[in-house]
Structure 1
């Protein structure tokens, strides 16, 4: 079982390092679901439709959740700013109706 950290943001990588987040593989983008296997874990900020698809494969999804004020939307955040935005890791399972 492999833990993937999916992010293109240097601040998120720095934040993960400071928090001693364990992951086996870092990739900037999830370009193919074929690399994921049942029991793997994906950490990141993915669109809900991708979360659904990886959940269907038996992959665990852990979301990097933030409370971003309007002034910081679209800004490349530092690890310190992620802390200020109350960054947390939350596990999600998505169902489609």
Structure 2
């Protein structure tokens, strides 16, 4: 199962344009208890939830976006995201 986690419509539209990803489930908030070994979680999560996803045997790809401080919290369109170099980067997160 591939999950995409974001509350931003521009991000949802962006991932739909990425042919290498066939998302099964779009969510605004992920309950890590539903994640199974071998699942893939794409998007944005707080560190503690990303660590739980990884501990459950799933792969986590963080949605990266080169933005300025002033741009934080803004709603970006698909074109904005492309212009800012939006990408997915895999992270292995572990609570210590």
**Structure 1 length-normalised TM:** 0.90
Residue number in structure 2 paired with 1:47: 46
**Structure 2, gaps ≥5 residues long:** none
Tell me how far apart the structure 1 counterparts of residues 73 and 59 of structure 2 sit (CA, whole Å): 27
Local SS of the residue matching 2:70: helix
Residue number in structure 2 paired with 1:90: 89
1:80 aligns with 2:79: yes
Cα offset, 1:23, TM superposition: 0.8
Judged with a 3 Å threshold, the aligned counterparts in structure 2 of structure 1 residues 95 and 33 are, in CA distance, closer, same or farther, namely closer
Q: Which runs of 4+ in 1 moved over 4 A?
A: none
**Structure 2 length-normalised TM:** 0.90
**Structure 1, gaps ≥5 residues long:** none
Q: Can you list the C-alpha shifts for 1:59-95, whole angstroms capped at 9, x where unaligned?
A: 1101111111223211111111111211111110012
RMSD of aligned alpha carbons: 1.2
